[in-house]
Structure 1
Amino acid sequence: MTITPVHVEIDGRPVADPALTASLMSGYGHFTALQVRGGRTRGLALHLARLDGAHRELFGAGLEAARLRPLIGRALRGSGLRDASLRVYGFENAVAVTVAEPYVHDSSPQLLMSVPYVRPAAHLKHLGGFGQAYHRRAAARAGFDEALLTGPDGAVAEGAITNVAFWNGEQLIWPSAPHLTGVTMALLMRRLPSALRPVTLADLPSFRACLVTNSRGIAPVSRIDRVTYPVNEELMARAQGAYEQVPWDPFD
């Protein structure tokens, strides 16, 4: 049973719409994250499909592109930014769009620390990411850049905020354990030799290189726990070149 509040205060200040505020604070919802340059983004159709599919699964109704595009464009124009980090959130009774300064991508080699954690409903980019945030902070305290989420028997799933891929000399191997198919991952899988297969921590020494992807970009991985990888400059150039070939889509 959902109880709708009639009055909400934040830091002693009443909010204008208690029901909407309660929905936004519920922790039950989903989102997608985009990097915007010149008022455009890569893979917009994939982002819109993600939002629509997640909304149908969580709330039984879709979020169609015809509704989302104007909301995103309006928020972007309201921010005054042409380059931005943008997020679209789907709640039961609302769609929220946040616009922030663009992210400056760090393409330096990443250090990953494996942790025993798999996100619930991992196929969704949902709210309530306490577990992955907790492990990512723990990894940072230990001197790593990212947490590598793993399941039973050391099955590799994904990074806390990234997808991970391993190069075997012929193709990128994306772990098939429960994970979110990121938009950048999906775009690269269409353009580079790729396969979705089980990968375990015991398999890591057998690969020649490793990289991570998310909406911010692509970066090489130089170490996972005690397993080290050389930065494969040819692979990174191919991956970056394939990503840069993806067209930029307008919102309107």
Structure 2
Amino acid sequence: MPPLIRLEIDGREPTIEELYHPLLVNYGHLTALQVRDGRVQALALHLERLVAATRELFDADLDPALVRGHLRHAVRDVSDASIRINVYQPADELMIVVAVRPPAFPPSTPVSLRSVPYVRPAAHLKHLGSFGQLYFGRLAEREGFDDALLTGPGGEIAESAIHNIGFFDGTAVVWPSAPHLAGIQMLALNPGLEAAGLPVRSAPVHLADVGAYRAAFLTNSIGVVEVRRIDEVALPGDPDFHRLVVSAAAAVPWDAI
């Protein structure tokens, strides 16, 4: 993981005592985003994610304006960065942790995925329980793959360890319907895909189906990357389709913090 530029809790430098809870209690949620020239793509969706997860996990209301203020303070002298905003509740009050790191960029070449029999608990939440993803991701790398592809019973595909995955059947983009996190990039990308004439739908996708698809791609806050292989199945790829997806992702508006 890239080195920290800054870590703030509730808009200020934390004390050692304040760090005990995030270090020792693995219960909370987060959003991850990229800042470019003081702007964030789909910032409203990130804030909505944090508000909804806070209500579900802590039965508490999170003020999105407060989060935005803490983010603005954390990047006050940094124009480009990778950000993680974590939310905890050590006692009766919420704790907002903003970590600032150097900006990240998607791989410049297509990636390969190793399927693993694992689906994240409470998969609709971007929560802190990431042991399974890290464990299987490292195993995949040891076998020569770039990342793990999480699958449920019967080989039903859900998501990669840290991305959503989309498939192209030649006419439409298919997002797997197995339990997964609805990623911000995925949500923000869909309108642009449809505007470009690419229908978008959600449906079950199984490992046995992979060979029937023309192309696949991953999305997260860092960007879009082409998938060249899943297990031993090589995907033909479609350069025109991939250029369209990258273009649609680039067209998502950047909001001032």
Say whether the fold is shared (TM-score over 0.5). yes
The alpha carbon displacement at 1:65 in A equals 1.5
Runs (5+) with no aligned partner, structure 1: 1-14
Q: Is the 8 A contact 1:112 1:146 kept in 2?
A: yes
Matched to 1:209, the amino acid is A
The aligned counterpart of 1:30 is 29
Q: Is the 8 A contact 1:107 1:220 kept in 2?
A: no
Q: Is the 8 A contact 2:114 2:145 kept in 1?
A: yes
Q: Following the alignment from structure 1 to structure 2, what is the Cα–Cα distance between the partners of residues 17 and 142? A: 39
Q: Following the alignment from structure 1 to structure 2, what is the Cα–Cα distance between the partners of residues 103 and 120? A: 27
Q: Following the alignment from structure 1 to structure 2, what is the Cα–Cα distance between the partners of residues 36 and 214? A: 14
Matched to 1:178, the amino acid is P
Q: Following the alignment from structure 1 to structure 2, what is the Cα–Cα distance between the partners of residues 52 and 39? A: 22
Q: Following the alignment from structure 1 to structure 2, what is the Cα–Cα distance between the partners of residues 205 and 53? A: 37
Further displaced range: 184-193 or 220-229: 184-193
The number of residue pairs the alignment matches comes to: 234
The aligned counterpart of 1:71 is 70
1:65-144 pair list within 5 angstroms: 65-77=64-76, 80-92=77-89, 93-144=94-145
Of 236, 248, 251, which residue of structure 2 is paired with 1:242? Answer: 248
Percent identity reads 48
Structure 1 residue matching 2:75: 3-state secondary structure: helix
Deviations 1:74-93 (A, max 9, x none): 0011xx31000011101013
Q: Is the 8 A contact 2:42 2:184 kept in 1?
A: yes
TM-score between the two structures when normalised by the length of structure 1? 0.90
Q: Following the alignment from structure 2 to structure 1, what is the Cα–Cα distance between the partners of residues 237 and 111? A: 10
Structure 2 residue matching 1:187: 3-state secondary structure: helix
Deviations 1:151-171 (A, max 9, x none): 001110000001101100111
List structure 1 runs of 4+ shifted beyond 4 angstroms: none
Of 197, 201, 206, which residue of structure 1 is paired with 2:203? Answer: 197
Runs (5+) with no aligned partner, structure 2: 1-13, 194-198
TM-score between the two structures when normalised by the length of structure 2? 0.88
Q: Following the alignment from structure 2 to structure 1, what is the Cα–Cα distance between the partners of residues 105 and 248? A: 20
Q: Following the alignment from structure 1 to structure 2, what is the Cα–Cα distance between the partners of residues 223 and 63? A: 41
Structure 1 residue matching 2:178: 3-state secondary structure: coil
Q: Is the 8 A contact 1:107 1:218 kept in 2?
A: no
Deviations 1:97-140 (A, max 9, x none): 01011013213111000000000000000002000000000000
Q: Following the alignment from structure 2 to structure 1, what is the Cα–Cα distance between the partners of residues 174 and 72? A: 36
1:52-63 pair list within 5 angstroms: 52-63=51-62
The alpha carbon displacement at 1:16 in A equals 4.2
Q: Following the alignment from structure 2 to structure 1, what is the Cα–Cα distance between the partners of residues 80 and 120? A: 31
Q: Following the alignment from structure 2 to structure 1, what is the Cα–Cα distance between the partners of residues 19 and 81? A: 25
The aligned counterpart of 1:11 is none
Q: Is the 8 A contact 1:48 1:65 kept in 2?
A: yes
Structure 1 residue matching 2:34: 3-state secondary structure: strand
Further displaced range: 97-106 or 116-125: 97-106
The aligned counterpart of 2:157 is 156
Q: Is the 8 A contact 1:109 1:231 kept in 2?
A: no
